[in-house]
Amino acid sequence: MSAPHSSAGLPRLHLLAAVLVMAVWGSNFVIIRIALDSFPPLLLAALRYTFAFFPAALFLPRPKVAWRNLATYGVLIGGGQFGLLFIAMKGHITPGLASLVVQTQVIFTILFSLILHKERVRLFQIVALALALAGLSVILTHTDGHTSPLGIALVIGAAISWSSGNMVSRAAGQINMLSYVVWASLFAIPPLFALAFATEGADAIVSSLAHAPLSAWAAVGWQSVGNTMFGYAMWGWLLSRHPSAQVAPLALLVPVFGMLSSTLILAEPMQVWKIMAAALVMGGLILSILWPRVAQRLAR
């Protein structure tokens, strides 16, 4: 007997798993901010993927997918998404806003899908992009000591890397996504460590490794096991079994969890302009994802 489906088209257990991933990813921005007090950003990213790969790779066989696919995903998600995101969150953007801006990956994922399938851009997609850009403009006009244009640009770069990684993981097909994420992590480690030593310096790296408290190492463990192995394996598994249009909208919950957890745990102020920016960005994302279904129903 088939699993019962939600109104969004996902089986209920799959929907619950997706929401849990969003809660993990959203609250993870707070954990990242805490870990960055002890580790330089690129070192933190390198440690995250080191412990995501080892020792799990000893127990999980390499997935039957081309090395090129694994390497591309590892570099895009490890080096691109999280390397840029961690740099941004080291004093260039608040955790709550980072969780919001990185969700522009939804629009980039849809745009990349349009380009790959050579579909024409439709009016609602232009309006959706305009709304998201308006929200980013609101953030840019309120930059201060906690959020800067550089931080926003870095997080947008992280979003582009994430959306590109989505395309790569979908091309891998229906495989064991935990094995896929673990083995792809191997290719994130060398560039992240190389960049860490080149830009952060050996002295800062050795000092942080020697003096990091247990809470910082616990944050690294959560990055590796909870956020990477569970989160990205489950997300990739859902994307490989359901259309992007059914799975992608759930990513809209990340900034909800992210902004709430940042406010509750780190006391990040929730000013009116942040609510306005969130409404514009989220409005654009919701329009880009849900309008085709609404239009289809209205046409019946």
Given a cut of 60, whether residue 1 has pLDDT beyond it is: no
Residue 51, pLDDT score: 92
pLDDT category at 9 given cuts 50, 70, 90 is: low
Contacts of 276 (CB under 8 A, 6+ apart): 135, 138
Per-residue burial over 141-168, b if 16 or more Cβ lie within 10 Å, else e, is eebeebbbeebbbbbbbbbbbbbbbbbb
User: What is the 3-state secondary structure of the chain?
Assistant: CCCCECCCCCEHHHHHHHHHHHHHHHHHHHHHHHHCCCCCHHHHHHHHHHHHHCCHHHCCCCCCCCHHHHHHHHHHHHHHHHHHHHHHHCCCCCHHHHHHHHHHHHHHHHHHHHHHCCCCCCHHHHHHHHHHHHHHHHHHCCCCCCCCHHHHHHHHHHHHHHHHHHHHHHHCCCCCHHHHHHHHHCCCHHHHHHHHHHHCCHHHHHHHHHHCCHHHHHHHHHHHHHHHHHHHHHHHHHHHHCCHHHHHHHHHHHHHHHHHHHHHHHCCCCCHHHHHHHHHHHHHHHHHHHHHHHHHHHCC
Q: How far apart are CA 228 and CA 233, in angstroms?
A: 7
CB 143 within 8 A of CB 273: no
* Lowest mean pLDDT, pick from 83-87, 180-184, 251-255, 292-296: 292-296
Residue-wise pLDDT for 239-253, tens only, equals 878 876 678 778 778
pLDDT category at 7 given cuts 50, 70, 90 is: very low
pLDDT category at 3 given cuts 50, 70, 90 is: very low
pLDDT category at 158 given cuts 50, 70, 90 is: very high
Given a cut of 80, whether residue 10 has pLDDT beyond it is: no
- Token pair 């799975």: residue: 247
* Lowest mean pLDDT, pick from 17-31, 70-84, 104-118, 265-279: 104-118
Given a cut of 90, whether residue 200 has pLDDT beyond it is: yes
pLDDT category at 229 given cuts 50, 70, 90 is: confident
Which range scores top for mean pLDDT: 10-24, 26-40, 144-158, 235-249? 26-40
What percent of the chain has pLDDT above 70?
93
Q: How far apart are CA 104 and CA 282, in angstroms?
A: 9
Contacts of 5 (CB under 8 A, 6+ apart): 11, 12
- Number of other CB atoms surrounding residue 293 within 10 Å: 14
* Lowest mean pLDDT, pick from 14-18, 119-123, 232-236, 267-271: 119-123
Contacts of 244 (CB under 8 A, 6+ apart): 109, 110, 113, 166, 170
Residue 277, pLDDT score: 87
Name the token pair of 175.
Answer: 């495989």
Given a cut of 60, whether residue 2 has pLDDT beyond it is: no
Residue 236, pLDDT score: 79
